[in-house]
Every structure is written in structure tokens, then in C-alpha cells.
Amino acid sequence: MRTIGLEEHFATTEVLQRWDAATPSDLKRNLTELGDHRLDAMNATGLDVQVLSLSTPGVQDLQPDAATLLQGTTNDTIAEVVREHPDRFQGFAALAASAPTRAARELERAVTELGLNGAMVFPRSGDHTLDESRFWPIFEAAAALNAPLYLHPQEPVPGVRAAYYSGFTDTVDDAFARFGVGWHFDTGVQILRLILAGVFDRFPNLQVILGHWGEMVLFYLDRIDNLSAAARLSRPISDYFRTNVFVTPGGVFSQRYLRWAVDVVGAERVMFATDYPYQFAGDSGARLFLENADLSDEDRDSIASSNWERLCAGIRR
């Protein structure tokens, strides 16, 4: 069984310097190291291939000129690592969504010249959500290339964080707003906004990947379908999840959530991810999660790697 992880993060020193938040030294090392240490971690958890992506918040919150410069150098770095270890690494492009037209051109360069397999994007750039028409050049480019976009969580806006995720200790507030629940609600809302805004109707072959078992949405999809009529969509929202959305565990190795995802969207819409370095399951933990799953051999292979390989085979280079 070949295992490919789609949410495997890194950062460059240049990008880390641009982020406001301090990064702990051990996390900084694990994010920036792209050699033996990372390969050893992959071997230890049983992951054959990492699809590298720039960690949240990427370059989307930076001013357009700075973001544009960093997207290019970051993608060049990913491509260099892939060239050095083509059997172990692939890559998602980083995009300067604050400059959507330039981001679209960079996505085309990343796919057709650098050999990357789509891009990782985040719900907002500044105060603007990704569904706004200003960002549609990115979706147009992705659809034209048949290149997937991985929609990854991002910090909730300050007002939402203050209203919903504050009032405890700083440590609890941070966890509550981020990995506890805030990141996932925020990203789940954004995929729904993309559907409601008509992005997938305008670009029907666009493929988006969600981590963390669909960022809450799969668990309430029957109820969410009531939005379809109110929005005058041509088909139920759940249909978009079965034609335009893939989901991964994003490091949440829950057999219960896996069963739910397969039941809701089908094994053909589930792929794999370990969320390195934020999550790490040693002693072959990533591989054992798939080996121990109650799946047919065909479905296990599809989730482990084949679904991703089929998706990549359709990218227009």
C-alpha cells in the first residue's frame, strides 16, 4: 500500500520572518527542515510521500507586492525539494491571493513549469473572503489546469475570535479559536460560501480538498441541504461535496470519522493526510490507521494514494 499525505507543512525562513506570531524553536526546525529529519519522520509514521505545502497563514495576509515575491521563491523551493527526492515529495503551490491575477499566473507557472500539483489556499485575504469575485481568477486558472486547491484552516477574524473564542486563559482562548474548533468551523463556513456564491457552477470541474474530515460540514450535511432552496441552487449542496470536494483526515486518525466520511461522500472522495509537523504518529501510526480500517482492499488503496494519483493524472501541464 502506497501512502501519500496531502497536508504536510513546511515554511521558509523568509516567510517565518514575515509572520507576526512567534514560532517555537522546535516547530520552526520541523517546518523549515526538508531533508533527513523529515524523511526519518515519514519513515517512522509509514508515509511514502509528502505533498508539501506552506503552513497557515501562507502569504495570503501579506501586502500584494511582498506576497507576490514570496509566492515565487517559496514555490521554487518546493520544486527544488521535489526534484531532489521525486519519489518522496510532491508540492502544492503557495499563492499570493491578495493579488489574485498574479496568483493565478503563479499557479499556472507552478503547475506547468515547476510540476506542482495545485495549490493550498486559505479562507481569507485580509478582510476579504475567498468567495468574492475578486478571487475568481484563481479558480478560473485552477479549473483550466484541472489542478486541485486544498482549502486549509486559518485564524478566525478578530471580531469572531473575540465574540466566540475568548474569555478564558490565553492558552485556552488560542486552542479554542484554532485547533480546538475555531479553525474548522471557519473553513467549513468558507466552503459553503464558495458553493453559495456559485463558484462551482461557474467552474464545474474545480476540485477542492478539505482536511479534518470536511471541516465539520459532513456531520451536518443533511441539515445544510436546506440552504439549497433558499439559495436557489440548481442542485443540493450535498451534491457539490460528491462532485467537487475531497476530504482528508488532516491528521485526525479517527476510524469513526473515516466510516462517516465514506458513508456520506464515498471512498472515491476521501484521500489521506497526516498534518505534519503539527501531528505526528510514530511507530507506523499513519500506515496502521489505514491498515486497521474496515475497508475493502480497493477502497483502502484508493484512500491511501490512488484517488490522489488519478486526480493528478488529469492535471493539464
**Quick one: pLDDT at residue 65?**
96
Angle at 73 between CA 72 and CA 74, to 5 degrees: 90
CA 149 to chain centre: 7
Q: Is 50:5 a contact under the CB 8 Å cutoff?
A: yes
Domains of the chain (ranges, CATH numbers): 4-313 (3.20.20.140)
Beta-carbon count within 10 A of 114 CB: 18
**Quick one: pLDDT at residue 23?**
80
Helix (H, G, I), strand (E, B) or coil at 26: helix
Report the distance separating Cα 75 and Cα 56, nearest Å: 15
Beta-carbon count within 10 A of 76 CB: 13
Residues annotated as part of the active site: 275
- Element spanning 72, H or E: helix 64-84
Q: Is 153:183 a contact under the CB 8 Å cutoff?
A: yes
Instruction: Choose among 128, 152, 136: nearest CA to 206.
Output: 136
pLDDT mean values, one per 10 residues, the chain (317 residues): 98 90 87 97 98 95 95 98 98 97 98 98 95 98 98 95 97 96 97 98 98 97 96 96 98 98 98 97 97 98 98 98
Report the distance separating Cα 136 and Cα 143, nearest Å: 10
